[in-house]
Amino acid sequence: GHNALLDENVKGGALDADYTVATIENCDIKNFTAADGGAVYTSGASLTITNSNFYHCISNKTGDTNGGGAVQTTAATVNVSDSTFIDCEAQFQGGGLYHNNAREGSSFIMTGSTFANCSARAGGGVETLAQKANVTNCTFTNCRAETKGDAAGTNGGGLNIYSGHSENLNTTSAT
């Protein structure tokens, strides 16, 4: 596996894209570990993930902040489509993906994506703080919000929308 953890401040084991528009398309990303965003960390205007796969990615930062086993982003707009997150975990939030932006106008749109065997204390598959969330035709299988260390497991085994409101939640499957 790949391990980018040199200290507790490392972001994005494969990609750290700050203050930019980021697009990940047709990628297979496997076995990365970092403090924030095990494989990918982005900030900036937007993040788009299309037809990409994330396998066994880990955010191992301890404490009650951040996460994103595969991806952590503070982008205002996040669009994820036709992508897969398998065996990803975070010590705190968003086992597969953590979207940390609750500002006015922030949005999270996800379609046709799958999360399997992902875990975190909150949002085992996904956690978003977006003001508007739209999740359509997505599958969450065996994703867990569970106890990590001395802290109790909290919200959303598959999906946790923490603030704002959801406009459309149409998940194909949640087991």
Q: Which residues of the chain register pLDDT less than 70? A: 1-9, 63-65, 147-154, 163-175
What pLDDT is attached to residue 174? 61
Burial 27-50 (b: 16+ CB within 10 A, else e): bebebbbbbbbbbbbbbbebbbbb
What pLDDT is attached to residue 155? 77
- Beta carbons of 141 and 173 less than 8 angstroms apart: yes
Half-sphere exposure at residue 119, Cβ-oriented, CA atoms within 13 angstroms: 10
In whole angstroms, what is the distance from residue 72 CA to residue 5 CA?
A: 15
What pLDDT is attached to residue 48? 97
- Look up residue 170 and give its DSSP letter: E
What pLDDT is attached to residue 124? 92
Q: Per residue in 78-88, pLDDT tens?
A: 999 999 999 99
| 169: nearest Cα among 120, 132, 125 | 132
What pLDDT is attached to residue 65? 67
Residue with tokens 């937007």: 46
What pLDDT is attached to residue 171? 58
